[in-house]
Each structure stands twice: as structure tokens, then as C-alpha cells.
Amino acid sequence: MNEKIYEYKDSTDWYVAKWGDFNALGQFSQVSVEAGTIFKQLQESLNVEASEFPLELKILRYQSAYRLVVFLVDIINKERERELELIQRQGAILVVEKGRLLFVHLPNGGIELSEFLGAEEIKDTLLIATRNEGKTKEFRKLFGKLGYTVENLNDYPELPEIEETGVTFEENARLKAETISKLTGKMVLADDSGLQVDILGGLPGVWSARFAGVDATDTENNIKLLHELAMVFELKDRAAHFHTTLVVASPDRDSLVVEADWPGYINFEPKGENGFGYDPLFLVGETGKTSAELTIEEKNEQSHRAKAVKKLMEVFPAWQSKPSLS
């Protein structure tokens, strides 16, 4: 069996795992007794022999049980083609597979049973402030394994359209997230994303969705961009990047803001059938492939939105645990 190395690292948690020829699951460093207990209980809950999961785990820093369970579940799903799903509710962490509950981790002191069982929907809901099903599909892929039910504005047709009057990505994202959160009382994630082309001074930028005019289609925006770059003949002069600013708003706390970029170039013609927006024109770095030629899995590993979500999840638990403003 070939060895594989997995790693998760941020400012508070650091795990390194090696999948290979070991005699037992659970060779872990004693940085945290809780981490070791979670590791053993998860293996036992799957009702398999230790030899079926030859994983050596080193805990170098530990604070979040949630991050550790996400890390372990992701490895097991990849290496054993399982369909484990993570759900979090009221501070509890659950692992289920095909509708069957396999593992539960409770916070210190437990939780109120009525709070845990009283809700019709066990998953926490994250409302994405968009009606774009393509964008929602990407967020659902990214957040699904983290235990959230993802909705979008199509689930709330009564909500008004929020006019994007900001002149920066953050202003627009804040406007959408905070307004909709106040109207619904829900936790809302809004992004303002756009393409910035260096030689065009950062355009289309915050006007990416309406570069060719109000209600412009993706095709019309792409044609407009190619027209603007018609006299730029060298690929090196067509440098660009996708930018995303994410804002998470909740009625009872200050908003959380993260941002990320995805560098590349603007191709001379559209290629690929996947994605949306400017994906058919955006050449990813030095790969020679457009974003629209990537699978959704490939895109979710490297895109501006994926990078921003990764940053978001590093700071999200600490943000959630802050005292409310009320």
C-alpha cells in the first residue's frame, strides 16, 4: 500500500496524518486527550477492524473538535470510498452515512435535549444571498461536507432584490448579507465576486455581472470583454484575476469578512462547457486550461471562492463562539 500524507494547519490546529502500512488505527501524539478520544471513538463507531483504516495521526496543535472530525471524515471518505456526512447542531458534531447516525461528539457540559431534538431540521441553515443556481451549486458542494443545509434566495421569493450600490466588493457583500440577515433572522453568506483585468484598470470588477449592460447574459459579457481586449495581442498582457469577498452576517453579532484572489489570463476565445460567467475565457494560471474546462471538483480545490471559503472556515468557529451583541 502506498503511503499518503494529509495535513491540516491553521493558527490553532495542526494535524498530520499518514495513510499506509500500519498495524493499527490511532497512532497519535498526546497533545490532547480529547483529540485521541475522538479519534478512537470515530474508528469504533464505524464498526470496522483497525487494519481497515491504517492511519497514523499526529496532533501538533489542537483546539477544535469540529476541525478534527472534518479532517478525519474527509480522509476516510477518500481512502475507503465511504459516504460519511458531517452535521453540526447546537454545538454537537454528528457523523451519518446513508441516513444512519454513526458518531456523536458533544461539547463539554452537554447540550439541552429540547434544543437538540426540537427543531424539524437538524442541520443549521446557511442562506446564500444569491438567486444564481450555478453559484449556489458551488457553495453547496463546499459547505455540504461541513454540515450545513444551504439555501438561496430562490427559497424566499418574497424577499426584495438588494441593489448593489457599493463601489467595492466588500461594500456590496456587506449590503446583501446584513440586509437579508435582518429581514430573515438567519445567518446569511453573501459574496461579491468579479473579474479584474490588469490592462483595463481592474475592470469589469464590481460591474462584472453587468459589464455589457443591465441584465446582460454571460455570453454578452464575454463578448464585451473580448472586444475591450481586441488590440491586446500578447497573452502576458492579458493578466487578470478573479476576486471574491465573502461576508457572513448574523443578527446578533458583527459580520465576518474574508477575501481571496485567483490569478490567470484572459484567453482569445471561449473554451469549455462547465462553470458560468467568465469561466470560458479565464485561463487558470499557467495551466493553459480555462476555468470552464475544469470539473467542479477541480475548480472547488483552487478557485477564488474555494480559497475564500477555506479562509472563512479557519476563522468561522471562533466567530460563532463570540458573545452576541444583545
Closest to 68 (Cα-Cα) out of 45, 97, 36: 36
Give the three cell numbers for residue 256.
465576518
Cell numbers given for 51: 487494519
- Sign of the torsion angle spanned by Cα atoms 65, 70, 73, 78: negative
Q: Distance (Å, rounded) from C-alpha 202 to C-alpha 195?
A: 8
User: CB-hemisphere CA count at 13 Å for 134?
Assistant: 11
Contacts of residue 33, defined as CB under 8 A and 6 or more positions apart, other chains included, come to none
Backbone φ and ψ of 11, nearest 5°: -70, -20
Active site residue 261: no
Neighbouring CB atoms inside 10 A of 229's CB total: 19
In the set 192, 198, 261, 279, the catalytic residue is 192
How many residues comprise the chain? 326
Q: Are 258 and 278 in contact (CB under 8 A)?
A: no
Active site (catalytic) residues? 192
